[in-house]
Amino acid sequence: MKSKNTRNTVLISVLLTILVINLGFVFTNLSFSKATNQITFLEGLKTSATHNSTIAIDDANPASDWATWKAAGLCTGSGTSGDPYIISGDTFNTTTGSECLSIHNSRKHFRVLNCEFIISGFSVGIWLDNTTNGLIEGNQLPRNIFYNVYVDNCSQIILRDNNCSASGIGIVVVNSDYIDLYSNIVNDNGAYGIVFDNCEICIIEDNDLIENDDDGIYLDGCDFVTIRTNTIINNTIGINNEISNNTQVLGNTITNNGNHGIRIFQSYWCEITGNTITESISDGIRVEQSDHNLFESNMVNDNFYGIHLITHSDFNTISKNTANDNQNNGIYLSFCDFNTVDQNTANDNGNQGIYLSNCDFNVVDQNAANHNGGEGVWLANSDHSSVSKSITYNNTGNGVRLNTGINITCIDNVIYNNLGNGIRLFNIDDGEVRGNNVHHNGEDGIRLLSNSERNVITGNIASFNNLSGISLLSSSNEALINNNDASNNEEHGISVQLCTNVAITSNIANNNKMNGISLFSSDGNFIFSNTASGNVNGTNLISSDNNIISGNLLYGNDYCMNETDSYQNVYSDNICTAPITPSPGLDPFILGLIIGLAIGLGALAAVIILSLTRGRKK
């Protein structure tokens, strides 16, 4: 057993306060039940005896220990593991006292089976205190009472197939360990369904928790609790895990809860895996001030937010989840650092597929974020983070949007058919955009603007976009645009406006409908060793001075190089006409045959001429 905690928990304090205030009122038929649904209770309980007053077993008191009650005919058995004490089929119709059945200070093995409990007011159906080795199974607990089952400072207790409904709280377990709950019905309670407070190494499995006014399952100050394959519907919060570490939440069905489906608060090393969480009024999964947790393979659809981490929730892994059709964002992190968001699907959400705000050192990798009402992936005010190997298409906004940060990388993504830009960088410094395939987007393939400085744009394919393949705007200075293919765009291959010290090197900018490379009001830039053919202009400079254009292949354009209102630009070693390739030489063998044939024909002609001459002389 876990030692008793001397602190008064908020839960117990509130409930005891209610008890004191309402003690005189309770016994006038006060009901905790919402009574909105018909409660299905267990049928066919065979009654062995009826008890009209509290049965209190206290194995530390010889006057009321198990042996005494056995002698009184309450139970059978001897209290061993092979022959436990058994109370079976009794009716506890308690008209006096505050509980129907209480068991204290017991280490004997016992079972309470198929009994019916009837009591009203601020009372308890079954109370276990400082007790071990018990099985509570198949019982119908009272309605309209305080707790159906209350377990305090106990160990190795199993509650199975009981109906704990229509009261204040269905099941309460405090200061205990190795308490297992299987297949209980815990519905329609006026407060919580199941509460575990200061407990360790417990299992909550295959229970029904439906239409409880507060949380379906509430954990506070617990460690190593497993919550598995429960059905949790129409509560305030489905599962509320507060200050409880190493919790496993596995394979639960959590639907239509009034606030969050699952809430993790100030908790560490938890595993939230394989759950189906739908139709939460707020968040499918809500995480606050919680680190080192795993959220994997959950289906989090049709909530307001899908998965939502806030307020310094760090070092978490969000992996292989489906977060679709949520009203706002599929996956949303705010003020959270060092998290990994990978291999998720975030499609058809009302706003962003994946959104990180004020988050540093995060990895967004191998996700699909498509058909969203806003951006596919958006990182805002987030430094030292990356977006990689993801697919974003058919989003109403941009495929990937990066706002205000330093050292952001966008690498090896496939981004297409978005209404905005493929990749948009706004006020991003020292970033890298590398190896992306960005095509058929409604605006630019890759766009940098608003003082985005010292960025590297390299190795990308930026083709068939509705504006330019790559566009730098508004003091996006000191950038390197290198080794990209920016071809077949509706405007320019590479466009630079109001920027300086940009190096444009070794790119291909072919078959764009306007210019291969365009500079507007941009001074002091370098255009070197690019290939730009099949455009209107190979290079086009407007109001741009002191640029160097050198070593470029600019043939096959309507105009090789063009400039307007531009001064002191340097052009050198550019090729505007395709080089003429010499015809290949003849094979030496063929050449020898031709020469030999020519010599032979020449000799033959000489012989013929000589013969004709001699004939005339005769």
Reported as a single tens digit per residue, the pLDDT across 151-186 is: 999 999 999 999 999 999 999 999 999 999 999 999
Q: What's the pLDDT score for residue 7?
A: 40
State the DSSP H helix or E strand holding residue 70, giving kind and residue range, or none if neither.
Answer: helix 66-71
What value does the mean pLDDT take over residues 455-484?
98
457 belongs to a structural domain: yes
Q: In whole angstroms, what is the distance from residue 187 CA to residue 140 CA?
A: 13
Please, which residues have CB within 8 angstroms of residue 71's CB and are 6 or more apart in sequence?
none
**Residue 27 pLDDT greater than 50, yes or no:** no
Q: What single letter denotes the amino acid at residue 202?
A: C
265 belongs to a structural domain: no
Q: What's the pLDDT score for residue 169?
A: 97
Q: What's the pLDDT score for residue 577?
A: 87
State the DSSP H helix or E strand holding residue 55, giving kind and residue range, or none if neither.
Answer: strand 55-58
306 belongs to a structural domain: no
Q: What's the pLDDT score for residue 44?
A: 43
Residue of 5, 60, 358, 36 lying closest to 187 (CA atoms): 36
**Residue 8 pLDDT greater than 50, yes or no:** no
Q: Which two tokens stand for residue 580?
A: 């003429």
Q: What's the pLDDT score for residue 1?
A: 72
**Residue 581 pLDDT greater than 90, yes or no:** no
Choice among 15-24, 114-123, 306-315 with the minimum mean pLDDT: 15-24
| Residue, of 46 and 392, whose pLDDT is higher | 392
Domain end position, chosen among 175, 198, 221: 198
**Residue 579 pLDDT greater than 90, yes or no:** no
What does the pLDDT look like over 308-326, one tens digit per residue?
Answer: 999 999 999 999 999 999 9
50 belongs to a structural domain: no
State the DSSP H helix or E strand holding residue 607, giving kind and residue range, or none if neither.
Answer: helix 588-617
Q: How many CB atoms lie within 10 A of CB 591?
A: 11
Please check whether residue 313 is in contact with residue 339, taking contact to mean a CB–CB distance below 8 angstroms. Answer: yes
**Residue 110 pLDDT greater than 80, yes or no:** yes
**Residue 13 pLDDT greater than 60, yes or no:** no
Domain extent at residue 77: 8-38+56-198
3-state helix, strand, coil in the chain (%, to 5): 10, 40, 50
Domain with 538 in it: what CATH number?
2.160.20.10
> 593 pLDDT band (50/70/90 cuts)?
low
Q: What's the pLDDT score for residue 409?
A: 98
**Residue 585 pLDDT greater than 60, yes or no:** no
Q: What's the pLDDT score for residue 601?
A: 60
pTM of whole model > 0.85? yes
Q: What's the pLDDT score for residue 48?
A: 77
Residue of 47, 64, 10, 70 lying closest to 139 (CA atoms): 47
Q: What's the pLDDT score for residue 96?
A: 81
Choice among 19-23, 196-200, 376-380 with the minimum mean pLDDT: 19-23
527 belongs to a structural domain: yes
Domain end position, chosen among 198, 222, 255: 198
**Residue 12 pLDDT greater than 60, yes or no:** no
**Residue 202 pLDDT greater than 50, yes or no:** yes
What does the pLDDT look like over 518-573, one tens digit per residue?
Answer: 999 999 999 999 999 999 999 999 999 999 999 999 999 999 999 999 999 999 99
Q: In whole angstroms, what is the distance from residue 419 CA to residue 442 CA?
A: 4
Q: What's the pLDDT score for residue 369?
A: 98
Domain end position, chosen among 171, 198, 225: 198
Q: What's the pLDDT score for residue 499?
A: 98
Residue of 175, 251, 173, 256 lying closest to 217 (CA atoms): 173
Q: How many domains does the chain have?
A: 2
Q: Which two tokens stand for residue 529?
A: 């060793």
What value does the mean pLDDT take over residues 444-451?
97
What value does the mean pLDDT take over residues 571-599?
66
63 belongs to a structural domain: yes
414 belongs to a structural domain: no
**Residue 111 pLDDT greater than 90, yes or no:** yes
305 belongs to a structural domain: no
Q: What's the pLDDT score for residue 120?
A: 82
**Residue 231 pLDDT greater than 60, yes or no:** yes
What is the average pLDDT value for the chain, to the nearest integer?
A: 90
Q: Which two tokens stand for residue 261?
A: 């489906």
